[in-house]
Structure 1
Amino acid sequence: MPPNQWQQFLNRLSRDLLADPELSEQLPDEVFDSGWLGFSPATENEIQATENRLGKKLPPSLRSFYEVTNGWRCVGCFIWNILPVGEVGWLPETVPHLFKIAQDVEETKGPFEKDPGGRRLRDHRNEQGTRVKRSLVITSEGDASHWLLDPETINTKGEWAGGRWSSWNPAMSWNADSFADLVRDEYETFLKLTADRQDS
């Protein structure tokens, strides 16, 4: 998603989230004056400094997001803040307790029941252990949840696969092809929950 599309999408996201009384009561007064849940754009120097620190170029949709806003207040019901570009980091330094959980999962002893070839065990170790361990953390802890991006699972557009880890559902769900998909999916979840609440 290029910066101009991010701007349009984030304007709509701001409008809808600020209209929700359950979410808006957690937000500072200044966002109601501006109608904007973001911040000023990150500078190119700030983005490059983070890329140098990480040793990797940020995936396209995350990079273009930071060209529009350097972080975000409240994405939806489960993820609250997208970190400023200078605060994103690898899992061991950013969320060490989750790194330890993933490390333990990677060392899970088998065999699993009804898994004679060991495939389920290998997939479990990889999806819930190895991939989580190497992930980039891009959010603060929301509803006991974090968004993670896997720098070694990359699609043809250069986007990193992403997902959400939640302690109340202690399994990593790699359900997005990109950072942009994570944001869109969270927004769609918010809209569905809002509609369900209004219907009840």
Structure 2
Amino acid sequence: MLKNVLKRISQLSIKAGDRIFSKEQIESEWLGNEPAKIEAIEATEKNLGIKLPQDYKDFLLITNGFAAIRNNIEPRFETLDCIDYLINIDSDTVEIWNQEGLEDVGKELARAILIGGINEEQYFLLIPQKSPADDWKYWKFASWIPGEAPYENLIDYFSNVLEALETEG
């Protein structure tokens, strides 16, 4: 199902023409990359010291990264070699959101893994479980939202993106 949603997002984004796409992207109607290898996913998990959620691993096995869409309103999903804890990539954001009155969000950001939007106006974050009984959190995060926009999982996020594209079209 996720692959079909990503394919439809690719087709609609390219058709809308609201950003520049490569010749290969246009011809293939695909904004993704080659799939990640299981060994690369396992190496990333080892480097992060955590097991990634299954739906994100499934995403990586479909495409190791995905281009920004909707005139760059949505973040680009990074390749495995770029993801890391937000605090290692943007410690200033974590520090700002750990100020008095904002620390609930700040504590979550301090644990978050940045999987989308490096050097962009918005991020897509995975926030690990605090315990095995908890669910992972999925946040689109930007100061202009303001704060976090939570999603149930990756299919929820990409389904919302697809719905927005279909509404705009």
TM value normalised by structure 1: 0.74
Instruction: State whether structure 2 residue 5 is matched by structure 1 residue 9.
Output: yes
In structure 1, C-alpha distance between the alignment counterparts of 2:76 and 2:131, rounded to whole Å: 24
Taking the TM superposition and a 5 Å limit, the aligned residue runs for 1:115-134 are 124-126=102-104, 128-134=105-111
What SS does structure 1 have at the residue aligned with 2:123? strand
Aligned residues: 168
Displacement of 1:56 in angstroms is 0.9
In structure 2, C-alpha distance between the alignment counterparts of 1:161 and 1:28, rounded to whole Å: 33
Match of 2:41 in 1: 47
Taking the TM superposition and a 5 Å limit, the aligned residue runs for 1:180-195 are 180-192=155-167, 194-195=168-169
In structure 2, C-alpha distance between the alignment counterparts of 1:85 and 1:33, rounded to whole Å: 25
Displacement of 1:143 in angstroms is 5.8
In structure 2, C-alpha distance between the alignment counterparts of 1:86 and 1:61, rounded to whole Å: 18
Counterpart contact for 1:137–1:149, Cα < 8 Å: yes
Match of 2:122 in 1: 145
Question: Aligned letter for 1:37?
Answer: L
Relative distance call for 1:179 and 1:142 in structure 2 (3 A) is farther
2:22 alignment partner, one of 28, 40, 46: 28
Displacement of 1:142 in angstroms is 7.3
In structure 1, C-alpha distance between the alignment counterparts of 2:103 and 2:7, rounded to whole Å: 40
Displacement of 1:58 in angstroms is 0.9
Displacement of 1:140 in angstroms is 2.0
CA deviation map 1:49-80 (0-9, x unaligned): 10001111110110000011110112434223
Instruction: State whether structure 2 residue 92 is matched by structure 1 residue 97.
Output: yes
CA deviation map 1:9-48 (0-9, x unaligned): 22211111111121xx322222112211111110011100
TM value normalised by structure 2: 0.87
Larger Rg: 1
In structure 1, C-alpha distance between the alignment counterparts of 2:84 and 2:5, rounded to whole Å: 25
Gaps of 5+ in 2: none
Counterpart contact for 1:155–1:177, Cα < 8 Å: no
Instruction: State whether structure 2 residue 138 is matched by structure 1 residue 162.
Output: yes
